[in-house]
Structure 1
């Protein structure tokens, strides 16, 4: 089997940029949505998905309108749940707690938030539910990193080495199955 192309597009710049935006529903700016539409131009896709959060879904709707594709949403493509930290600037969080989170987001999750392994598990399930056809998912930086962990075997420290700026596009060739795998075929940050 030759696999299928899975394009993961990070949402555009949100109105609350510079904060930890997890499950809170902050919209993207108009220019952030336009950047996503521009980045998606020319992609040959048969399916379009997004997180159900507006900063991803609004860009997905605009891309769908331009490409003539319906948008399907799935909450499994949401960002990591930052719990009590959701919406806060990093500078407003206890430095030791933040450092522990960056060092090991699975054993030191945000208070009331989600562990890294839970994010990887739900993104893995979202990937498994996709039909094996060229697909674009408009999602979040954390979910994109979780996909890299799930499909390429990168650990939490390794996935942070990827620059996934707003409207970054990560393209993977995915081989589905009981143990899905992927090869990175492109990254446009």
Structure 2
């Protein structure tokens, strides 16, 4: 059974901080791009994919230039949509509603926002389209959704992973009817 390595790189620090950034499309800082370049210098991959949001695409473009590659923008790797809360700080959102969301983001999606199951469905489809060693520049929510899809982790387990800006989560995946996967590295 032939497998492949999937490296997930969380974008670097965004220009807007302390906010719920889902569909909000803000720039990535120069320091954030540099951190992503540093984190990926030793990674081996044949394909480069990125969320189309600027805070991810900026790092992907820099990585592509360094490696003489092209970037494939794939909207399935974007962050979860926080709906009416998008772009707000958590202090600006009703605390009880926010708590219900963090505990069960499928049953308590933000008003006008995306359900957790919608995110995991699109991430599963994106993973199914990968067949070679790939680096994906993405977001914390998409990385956690990948862990849920591949390993069946619940919300409590997903929040046990520290995924700071510019962190890399590396996975070995063996596709097939009974897809198997293994976590092979996490570099914050």
Q: Is the TM-score greater than 0.5?
A: yes
Matches within 5 A, 1:25-64: 25-64=25-64
Q: What are the Cα deviations for residues 25-50 of structure 1, in whole angstroms up to 9, with x where unaligned?
A: 11110100110011010111100000
Residues 35-78 of structure 1 show CA distances to partners (whole Å, capped at 9, x for unaligned) of 00110101111000000101001100000111111110100000
Q: 3-state SS of the aligned residue for 1:149?
A: helix
Q: Which residue of 2 aligns with 1:164?
A: 163
Work out the number of aligned pairs and report it: 188
SS at match of 2:176: coil
Unpaired runs of at least 5, structure 1: none
Query: Which ranges in structure 2 are unaligned for 5 or more consecutive residues?
Result: none
Partner residue of 1:70? 70
Q: After superposition, what is the alpha-carbon deviation per residue over 1:131-171, rounded to whole angstroms, capped at 9, x for unaligned? A: x2111000000000000000111112211110000001000
For residue 34 of structure 2, give the secondary structure of its aligned residue in structure 1.
Answer: helix
Query: 1: CA distance between counterparts of 2:176 and 2:116?
Result: 23
| CA-based RMSD | 0.9
Instruction: Find the aligned partners of 1:45 and 1:69 in 2 and give their Cα distance.
Output: 10
Q: C-alpha separation between the residues in 1 aligned to 2:111 and 2:57? A: 27
- What is the TM-score when the length of structure 1 is the normalising length? 0.97
In the alignment, the residues of structure 2 paired with residue 109 and residue 70 of structure 1 have an alpha-carbon distance, to the nearest angstrom, of 35
**Cα deviation, residue 111, structure 1:** 0.5
Moved over 6 A (4+): none
Q: Which residue of 2 aligns with 1:154?
A: 153
SS at match of 2:63: helix
- Structure 1 partner of 2:100: 100
The reply on whether 1:182 has 2:181 as its aligned counterpart is yes
- 2:87 is paired with a residue whose SS is coil
Deviation at 1:183, TM superposition (A): 0.5
| 2:132 is equivalent to residue 125 of structure 1 | no
Write out per-residue CA displacement over residues 97-131 of structure 1, whole angstroms, 9 at most, x where no aligned residue: 0010011111000110001111000000011111x
SS at the partner of 1:9? strand
User: Aligned partners of 1:183 and 1:2: how far apart in 2?
Assistant: 14
Distance between the aligned counterparts of 2:62 and 2:165, measured in 1?
16
